[in-house]
Structure 1
Amino acid sequence: MPCYLIAIHHPDDYDPATAEDAAMHQAIDALNDAMVAAGVRIFVGGLQPAHRAQSIRLDADGHPLLSRGPYLPTKEHVGGFWVIEVTHEADAMAWGTRAARACRAPVEVRAFN
């Protein structure tokens, strides 16, 4: 069965303390419970803010170059994600729609190879 990533995108200045409320947490918990009940959830995780990321690039000789912050400067970053296993892409899109509603944020649904 195909696996899909459902990634939640947050603006660069996202602050959970002000953006999230009890209703949102309840909606996300209900979504997680529904995914588990349906047997589709493989993994779920929230990420620290992008400014706390560390990036690694290799120089021409293959040596690591370390830097603080996200790999790419953008206005939005992945804030969390689910990995689900479903039969059809339409099912993944339906779960993605539910995730967008629960998280009040845009999502990206992408199949694994």
Structure 2
Amino acid sequence: MAKYLISFPGAAMVARGDELEAAGRDSRAVIEAAKAAGVYVFAGGLDESVRPVLVSADGTIREGGYPWGPSLDGGFTVLELPTREDAIAWAARIAKACRCAQELRVFMFDPAS
């Protein structure tokens, strides 16, 4: 089985007020369903109030992430699933619950993980 990253950037979350509260409730329900199905690996969002640091190979530390890259924020879910079709189906459930589109990516296989 492969591990899939289902994610969205913070700017994609446009729900506000009661709709945001409902999105939180509904997305937690999907995560509980993933746990019950035995496919859940990890989920969460990055704390955007804490700035990233870039740690170089020589140990040098610099405030901020890669200067040429996009900001990494938003919500992330990792599920372990047998097929891409299953991953798409779970991504659709998460998208519906979160009220925003989800990006789906597959992790490269690593026999040590």
Pairwise same-fold verdict (TM > 0.5): yes
**How many pairs align?**
107
What is the aligned partner in structure 1 of residue 2 from structure 2?
2
Cα distance between partner residues in 2 of 1:104 and 1:15 = 8
What is the aligned partner in structure 2 of residue 107 from structure 1?
102
Structure having the larger proportion of residues in strand: 1
Aligned match for 1:67, one of 63, 67, 87: 63
TM-score between the two structures when normalised by the length of structure 2: 0.75
Give the SS at the match of 2:87: helix
Residue deviations 1:59-93 (CA, integer Å, cap 9, x gap): 8xx3524113x43564x743121111110001011
Q: How does 1:32-43 map to 2 (within 5 A)?
A: 32-43=31-42
Gaps of 5+ in 2: 109-113
Q: Quick one: structure 1 residues 17 and 42, their matched pair in 2 at CA, closer, same or farther if it must change by over 3 Å?
A: same
Q: Are the counterparts in 1 of residues 15 and 23 from structure 2 also a CA contact under 8 Å?
A: no
Cα distance between partner residues in 2 of 1:78 and 1:35 = 22
Cα distance between partner residues in 2 of 1:101 and 1:90 = 17
Q: Quick one: structure 1 residues 87 and 71, their matched pair in 2 at CA, closer, same or farther if it must change by over 3 Å?
A: same
Q: Are the counterparts in 1 of residues 42 and 77 from structure 2 also a CA contact under 8 Å?
A: yes
Cα distance between partner residues in 2 of 1:52 and 1:18 = 24
What is the aligned partner in structure 2 of residue 22 from structure 1?
21
Q: Quick one: structure 1 residues 17 and 79, their matched pair in 2 at CA, closer, same or farther if it must change by over 3 Å?
A: same
Cα distance between partner residues in 1 of 2:27 and 2:107 = 23
RMSD between aligned residues: 2.9
Cα distance between partner residues in 2 of 1:10 and 1:99 = 15
Letter of the 2:11 partner, please give it: P
Gaps of 5+ in 1: none
